[in-house]
Amino acid sequence: MAKVRVENIMQTWDTHIPGQWQKVDKYFDIVNEEFQKKKTGLNASWENVGSMLGSKKKFLSIGWGRYRCYIGANAFGTDLVCTWDLYDPNFVRSNDGKFSGLFKSEFNEMTDLKAFTATILSCAITAADKIFDEANLDKKGLKQNSSGSLGPV
């Protein structure tokens, strides 16, 4: 079981899909299909994320070096909420949401990190996009970028 600390999340994305609560498994299936098409050489695995005594949730996890992307999908009422988070155990965000002790990386590592981030995030967004299409929903609420310390990716 993974314990993901909120202060170590450096980039985040989410989207809300109305009326599609029953599509949690379908969302993960599409994410996996899209990830396999990318031929990154990376492995995806399932992780139960949570604290020892708290609730746990299933996330698709994809790692690259010390970085890890966590992709989630939750049914909430009649809706589906899809999430993607980029985790770095060396990154620290303060409780007020400002970045402190910001990671220090060289330029080439940052460009590689952005490539990893954009590639895995595109799988999450494409899966949400396909669910919007299947349900014939207006995609104005489908977010196309993540936010965080890397800027919009």
pLDDT score for 119: 97
Q: What span, in angstroms and rounded, lies between the C-alpha atoms of 69 and 10? A: 10
Residue 6 corresponds to which amino acid? V
16 burial level (CB within 10 Å; 0-12, 13-18, 19+): middle
Residue 98 corresponds to which amino acid? K
Domain boundaries, the chain: 6-148
| β strands within 7-152, DSSP E | 9-17, 44-49, 57-64, 67-76, 79-87, 147-148
pLDDT score for 94: 56
Average pLDDT over residues 110-138: 95
Token pair listed for 30: 């599409």
Instruction: Give the residue with greater pLDDT, 141 vs 31.
Output: 31
Q: What span, in angstroms and rounded, lies between the C-alpha atoms of 100 and 87? A: 15
* Cβ partners under 8 Å of residue 105, min gap 6: 113
pLDDT score for 101: 45
Average pLDDT over residues 94-114: 66
Between the CA of residue 52 and those of 3, 48, 75, 115, what are the distances in Å?
Answer: 8, 11, 23, 33
Share of the chain above pLDDT 70, in %: 88
Query: Residue 111 above 90 pLDDT?
Result: no
Query: Residue 25 above 90 pLDDT?
Result: yes
Nearest Cα residue to 19 out of 76, 79, 73, 77: 79
CATH topology of domain 6-148: TBP-like (3.30.2030)
Do 121 and 113 meet the contact criterion of CB atoms below 8 Å apart? no
pLDDT score for 21: 97
pLDDT score for 30: 98
pLDDT score for 96: 54
Among 4-8, 94-98, 99-103, the least confident range: 99-103
